Structures are given as C-alpha cells and as structure tokens.
Structure 1
C-alpha cells in the first residue's frame, strides 16, 4: 500500500482560497467555493472545492463531502439552466493515476449539449471577460 502524500498548502486552489490568485467566483458559503475553470472543457465549466484542506475524496471528512456535494448540486442546477444544457458531466479525480492534477479536492461541473463533445484538456486558458460573463450568468441563478 502506498502512503498518501501530505496536503500541499501551496497548491493553486489553496492560493485561490487565500486570495493570492484571482478567480471568477460563482458561489461561496462558509464551507465551499465554486469558481470558473480557467481551462474550460465546455462553456460554463465550474470547479467546486471545500475550504477545508484535503487532497481528494480519499482523505476528506464525510461532513466536508456533504457540504461540497450540496454545492455541486446547487451549481449544477444553475449551470443546466444558464447554459440551456441538455445534461451535465460531474467529474472528480483522485491521485495522479486517477487523473488528478491539482491536489485539493475538487469537482468539475460541466454543462453538456447533445452531440457536442467536450473540448480536450489542452491547457489553453479562456479569456477572462468570457469567464466573468459566465460567472455572472451562474450567480444570477444561484440562491
């Protein structure tokens, strides 16, 4: 069995939580933060993270997971409506072998349209103005 590495307080999401890096925020409460993915795989692609430091689902407390999933659902409902989506893809990756790149628990909420494939993960960043406008659309629908 492999030992799980310690949480890295300098990961990009920890820096966003501390306000050291900018983010187009969609929703925030005492336990979670939702913000636009800067490398979206579809319009309206949002990331939902806990404010509690945890690498992924394997070391997250169940109470933390409960809060995160409640926010995922809230954001998913808004994303489906805001982007007139036919459906949603919710993704969550754990450890490098599972596809995880940023080692802070996060869920991807991606609006989907029938017959339209997700863009590949190329590392290309979306224009900030585009993300700002999408975040505004989502915030208007989240209560």
Structure 2
C-alpha cells in the first residue's frame, strides 16, 4: 500500500504542496511545529533516508535549501531547522521548521492546523519560491 506521503503526492489525500518536480515534492505538515513547517519528500518510496541513492538525496537536500530560504524570507525566523527523524511515516522525508529556539524542533509542539490557514501559508511559500532568485 502507498504511504500517506505518496497519497498526498498523487492527490488521493489532501495536501498543501508548495513545490514539485520529477524527484521530490515539498508540502506543509498538517501538524506544524511553527507556521511554514514543510516536509520535503522524495517521490520514490524509500523508508530510511540512508537508503536513498546519492542523486535523490542530493536533490532532496538542494530542494530543502531552496524551500528553507523561502521560509526564511517569508517568516523571518532566526533559523530554519532541518530534521530527519523518520519515525512517523515509513517514507524518507526532511522537516524544515522556522525556529525561534531549539525547542521548536520538539514534536510536542506539533499542533493540527485548519485547512484555510495551511492554504494561506502554502500560497505565501509558493509565491516566495517563484519570485525570489536564490535558486539555480
């Protein structure tokens, strides 16, 4: 059976996608630690990030960098944290979390967020990704 993340990518489950290409997809967490909390997920269903091939891993990390720059520009946090945990869904993924302190990485801070708020945040990130010029 396809993972929840694959189901979001294919549209079987709702999701707020901010970026997509032929290797990975970035979408908002439904229970963000902070506004803008984004997951960058390879399209290939690989459980552990250590099992990703180098090309996919490099692309996921480069995409994470671009999305993190958009989060930084849009939300203005002192840091954008990057975390790979891998326990919640058996599909490798990177968490990008706008942070004010290191405690913002704590999963106890995750709060389910309404669809309208997520839609607004996704629109803001997509706009940053399409108008800012740091990506190559």
Q: TM-score range by the shorter chain?
A: 0.7 to 0.9
Q: 1:36 aligns with which of 16, 28, 46?
A: 28
Bigger Rg over Cα: 1
The CA deviation at 1:86 is: 1.0
Alignment partner, residue 16 of structure 1:
8
Q: Cα gap change, 1:120/1:62 in structure 2, threshold over 3 Å: closer, same or farther?
A: closer
Question: TM-score, normalising length from structure 2?
Answer: 0.87
Unaligned runs of 5+ in 1: 1-8, 95-99
The CA deviation at 1:47 is: 0.4
Contact between 1:92 and 1:108, CA under 8 Å: does it hold in 2?
Answer: yes
Contact between 1:39 and 1:121, CA under 8 Å: does it hold in 2?
Answer: no
Residue 79 (1) aligns with residue 66 (2): no
Question: Structure 1 residue runs of 4+, over 3 Å off?
Answer: 119-124
Contact between 1:34 and 1:48, CA under 8 Å: does it hold in 2?
Answer: yes
Alignment RMSD, CA only?
Answer: 1.8
Question: TM-score, normalising length from structure 1?
Answer: 0.83
Residue 47 (1) aligns with residue 32 (2): no
Q: 1:110 aligns with which of 85, 91, 97?
A: 97
